[in-house]
Amino acid sequence: MKRKIYLAVMAAAVISMAGCGKKTDDTSTDATPESTQEATVTEEATPEAEEPVQDTQEAETTSGDETGVYPNATGLTEVAMGVTEDICTFKAPLNYVLAGGYYDENNEEQTIEGLNSATTTVEEALAAGSFSTGNHLAFFTMTSLDADQTMITTGMYTPDIMSWDDFKTYYPDAKEIGDTNVPGLLYHVEAISGQSVAVAVKVSDDVTLQIVYEGSLEDEIGEDELGQRLYNLVTVK
């Protein structure tokens, strides 16, 4: 395995940032209304200045949780992921906190501005434009804020880090899921909370996305059903 799986590092970073991470605040600027032209005839009414329209990021969201993965989710959105370009989307709950980053031109991990706090929710990051910085989200750790403490860690792997064939070799007991167009693997990895369910999805010929789940669902619905639900979080473009 060419690089140690990013799970422990990313998750530890999120935990250590809790309570001290800088939360992205929405800042507002007073818009200067356009000057109103004076009326040349006394009978003509001076037109009212139109209120400025606030430029906000558009994002399609749904209420509740249709994935069966996120307990107490208030709603869902799909965040784009990729290495050099966006190649898939990932269903994320609006009220979970998310910290993530991208790979620079030297294939080094860099944090995305606005996604470096353990207190900023997905909904707040969307409103702040943190998913539209021009950097491609390649890895993140996402955690619930309630007592459930569900945690999902994802990471994209290129062949110089770990190829699809490397995944199949490294996890020889993995179960094949998905289909021929978008194949997947279901296996277990050692995570912070112990042995956890993981799914690898071949999102392109050169990129494999790994998803590691930590929470209570495996005991409730079983490994196979949980693996399928995790696989269904990903939509390949």
| DSSP secondary structure letter of residue 205 | S
**How many residues can be counted in the chain?**
237
pLDDT at 38: 40
Reported as a single tens digit per residue, the pLDDT across 215-224 is 999 999 999 9
Mean pLDDT within 77-95: 97
211, 201 contact by CB (below 8 A): yes
Mean pLDDT within 103-132: 95
Mean pLDDT within 13-41: 39
- Residue 19 pLDDT > 50, yes or no? no
- Residue 132 pLDDT > 90, yes or no? yes
Between 10 and 219, where is the model more confident?
A: 219
pLDDT interval class at 59 (50, 70, 90):
low
Q: Is the pTM here over 0.85, yes or no?
A: no
The rounded mean pLDDT for the chain is 82
The sign of the torsion formed by the CA atoms of 115, 144, 214, 197 equals negative
pLDDT at 85: 96
The count of other CB atoms within 10 Å of the CB of residue 26 is 7
Mean pLDDT within 114-135: 95
- Residue 229 pLDDT > 70, yes or no? yes
206, 159 contact by CB (below 8 A): yes
Taking CA atoms, 97 is separated from 8, 73, 91, 224, 225, in Å, by 17, 11, 13, 26, 25
User: What percentage of residues in the chain have a pLDDT greater than 70?
Assistant: 75
- Residue 189 pLDDT > 70, yes or no? yes
| DSSP secondary structure letter of residue 39 | P
Between 33 and 221, where is the model more confident?
A: 221
Mean pLDDT within 40-63: 48
The one-letter amino acid code at 62 reads: T
Strand, coil or helix: 177: strand
